[in-house]
């Protein structure tokens, strides 16, 4: 996914010399192709993320199209005030890219993990939020953010869990909900980011579920959601983010009063990571192993059946 991000950014920068890449001393080899192709459009702002967002805002006011890259624990979390005032209040065409979202920086602890970024940004007016599931959705989201020319946040997990689509055309529009598998099964599994891959694996275990990806979280394609929810016995949301304020909250808020089936949110509970290990170990410690999740769904949906 990170390579696809680099490729998409290089393509945009070659097409538009106003496209700039700002990084807070991150990226390293990831941006070698960009630096080679567009050396005058690259700025390393150093480990000063709050200042970097201010610089991006100034450049946007001067007619440039900045892409601001950082770890999602820092962009957007460390720079939330600057995003709110410098970018969103001014409605500037700045795209923020948060890499390593969720708990993928497992060994680095809570300071480098980001499970609250969607929740924090949702309440800020005027910013669009994207959370692609694979390289094809990422390319679609990047192009959409550029075309719209509005404040945007692109959430990117560093762990490459594999594609969920066969190509860019299969990924559909970044503005809508995208079917990954199934057609009007009993249950609807909605995932975003790495949560789509988890939803796929759980669907293989449980059976009887359609899997749908949600690459755009704000504004959310509400009409498509209501259409997909019709006739479902149960709906489950999957995300590598806190269950409060993320995809689960978004879906619940929009279905309130119109959906009477069972509903379950799968994600990070209200706690920090308390153990150290690799990515798979940490996901398991948060109860997000596919087998554990399948067991929770079976228990929740069969209760009282």
Assess if residue 161 is contained within a domain.
no
Write down which residue in 156, 184, 205 finishes a domain: 156
Co-location of 148 and 41 in the same domain: yes
| Domain CATH number, residue 44 | 3.40.50.970
Domain count, the chain: 2
Provide the pLDDT confidence category of residue 182 given band limits of 50, 70 and 90.
confident
Co-location of 22 and 112 in the same domain: yes
Co-location of 147 and 181 in the same domain: no
- Taking CA atoms, 293 is separated from 196, 247, 265, in Å, by 13, 17, 10
Co-location of 110 and 132 in the same domain: yes
Co-location of 101 and 197 in the same domain: no
Assess if residue 60 is contained within a domain.
yes
* 125-156 confidence digits (pLDDT tens): 999 999 999 999 999 999 999 999 999 999 99
* 2-27 confidence digits (pLDDT tens): 899 999 999 999 999 999 999 999 87
Co-location of 33 and 120 in the same domain: yes
Co-location of 23 and 86 in the same domain: yes
Q: Please, which residues have CB within 8 angstroms of residue 209's CB and are 6 or more apart in sequence? A: 182, 185, 186, 187, 188, 189, 199, 202, 203, 236
Assess if residue 206 is contained within a domain.
yes
Which domain, by its residues, includes 175? 168-302
In this prediction, residue 236 carries a pLDDT of 98
Co-location of 10 and 48 in the same domain: yes
Q: How far apart are CA 250 and CA 248, in angstroms?
A: 5
| Domain CATH number, residue 243 | 3.40.50.920
Co-location of 17 and 147 in the same domain: yes
Write down which residue in 106, 126, 156 finishes a domain: 156
Co-location of 277 and 183 in the same domain: yes
In this prediction, residue 304 carries a pLDDT of 45
Co-location of 30 and 130 in the same domain: yes
Residue 305 scores a pLDDT above 50:
no
What mean pLDDT comes out for the span 199-204?
Answer: 96
Assess if residue 9 is contained within a domain.
yes
For residues 119 and 245, is the Cβ–Cβ distance under 8 A?
yes
Co-location of 150 and 15 in the same domain: yes
Residue 60 scores a pLDDT above 70:
yes
Beta strands 234-242 and 187-191, pairing class: parallel
Assess if residue 163 is contained within a domain.
no
Query: Which range has the worst mean pLDDT, 41-50, 161-170, 256-265?
Result: 161-170
């Amino acid at each position: 996914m990170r390579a696809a991000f680099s490729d998409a950014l290089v393509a945009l920068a070659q097409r538009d010399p106003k496209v700039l890449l700002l990084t807070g001393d991150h990226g390293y080899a990831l941006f070698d192709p960009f630096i080679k192709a567009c050396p005058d459009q690259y700025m390393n702002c150093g480990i000063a993320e709050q200042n970097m967002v201010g610089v991006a805002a100034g450049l946007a006011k001067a007619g440039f199209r900045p892409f601001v890259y950082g770890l999602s624990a820092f962009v957007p979390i460390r720079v939330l005030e600057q995003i709110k005032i410098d970018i969103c209040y001014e409605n500037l065409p700045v795209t923020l890219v948060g890499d390593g979202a969720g708990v993928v920086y497992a060994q680095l602890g809570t300071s480098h993990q980001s499970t609250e970024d969607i929740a924090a940004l949702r309440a800020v007016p005027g910013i669009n939020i994207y959370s692609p599931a694979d390289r094809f959705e990422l390319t679609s989201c990047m192009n959409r953010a550029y075309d719209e020319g509005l404040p945007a946040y692109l959430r990117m997990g560093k762990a490459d869990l594999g594609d969920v689509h066969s190509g860019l055309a299969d990924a559909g529009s970044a503005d809508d909900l995208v079917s990954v598998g199934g057609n009007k099964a009993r249950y609807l599994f909605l995932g975003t980011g790495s949560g789509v891959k988890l939803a796929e694996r759980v669907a293989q275990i449980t059976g009887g579920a359609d899997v749908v990806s949600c690459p755009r979280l704000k504004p959310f394609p509400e009409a498509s959601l209501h259409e997909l929810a019709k006739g479902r016995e149960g709906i489950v949301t999957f995300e590598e983010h806190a269950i409060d304020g993320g995809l689960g909250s978004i879906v619940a808020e929009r279905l309130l009063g119109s959906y009477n089936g069972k509903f379950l949110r799968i994600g990070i509970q209200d706690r920090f990571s308390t153990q150290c290990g690799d990515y798979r170990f940490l996901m398991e410690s948060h109860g997000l192993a596919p087998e554990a999740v399948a067991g929770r769904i079976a228990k929740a949906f069969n209760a009282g059946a």
